[in-house]
A and B are shown apart, each in its own frame.
Chain A
Amino acid sequence: NAGVTQTPKFQVLKTGQSMTLQCAQDMNHNSMYWYRQDPGMGLRLIYYSASEGTTDKGEVPNGYNVSRLNKREFSLRLESAAPSQTSVYFCASSEGGGYQPQHFGDGTRLSIL
């Protein structure tokens, strides 16, 4: 049971570089999410996709773009990485609606020098 799979698990970038974080779920969930987790600040929502073909901004969308490639996959792109984007990034999915629990991947630890 893979659940939510994130790649890569670790990445180091230089300021100004770009990269895409990948996320895939095998639970046939409709909704997918990207969060970042910083020490002492809890998780903050970057973008979410309520259903295939839709995406919406969360609390901290600046500097990021997302693509809902299909029902299974939801990617997060950093076009020009900045040190302030050093964080742990989590992808999550849920069946849909506001009354279903979210299931999380194990995260991508991203350092930007």
Chain B
Amino acid sequence: KQEVTQIPAALSVPEGENLVLNCSFTDSAIYNLQWFRQDPGKGLTSLLLIQSSQREQTSGRLNASLDKSSGRSTLYIAASQPGDSATYLCAVGNYKLSFGAGTTVTVRA
């Protein structure tokens, strides 16, 4: 059974600092890894999807890397802004996604 872990559970940084969010998974036989953002009381918004054959994906200030051999992914958010405050979740799988519990980020103005 795939286990997905996100540490830390919460993170607070001053505006402008770069964010580094970690995700680890136990089974390296994955189809893809996705990073999502969830705002309070809302659903999930897909940020980046990395296919198993890829090493990283980039979108604007976001960059996600994937290292299947070590079972890790990292989401980097450059020059954080208060609007980046949210919970970030990673998930691995194909149809059957296994989710981590998320990292709640607070960016202080």
Residues of B within 8 A of A90 (CB): 43-44
Are A98 and B95 in contact (CB-based, < 8 A)? yes
Measured CB to CB, the nearest residue on chain B to A56 is B95
Which of the residues A42, A98, A107 comes within 8 Å of B43, measured between beta carbons?
A: A107
Residues of A within 8 A of B100 (CB): 42
Residues of A within 8 A of B51 (CB): 99
A47 to chain B, nearest CB (A): 10
B101 to chain A, nearest CB (A): 4
Residues of B within 8 A of A103 (CB): 46
Question: Chain B binding site: helix, strand, loop or mixed by DSSP?
Answer: strand
Interface residues of B in 27-79 (CB under 8 A from A): 31-32, 34, 36, 41-46, 49, 51
Residue A4 is within 8 A (CB to CB) of chain B in the complex: yes
Are A40 and B45 in contact (CB-based, < 8 A)? no
Task: Give chain A's interface residue range (CB within 8 Å of chain B).
Answer: 20 to 34
Interface residues of A in 55-83 (CB under 8 A from B): 56, 58-59
Measured CB to CB, the nearest residue on chain B to A94 is B95
Residues of A within 8 A of B34 (CB): 101-102
Residues of A within 8 A of B96 (CB): 45, 48, 58-59
A30 to chain B, nearest CB (A): 11
Are A101 and B49 in contact (CB-based, < 8 A)? yes
Alpha-carbon distance A33/B99, docked complex (angstroms): 14
Residue A24 is within 8 A (CB to CB) of chain B in the complex: no
* Besides the known contacts A42-B89, A43-B99, 14 further A-B residue pairs in the complex with CB atoms under 8 A apart: A4-B43, A33-B97, A42-B102, A43-B91, A58-B96, A90-B44, A92-B44, A98-B94, A101-B46, A102-B44, A102-B97, A104-B45, A106-B43, A107-B42
Q: Which 4 A-B pairs have the closest CB atoms?
A: A98-B94, A104-B43, A98-B31, A101-B46
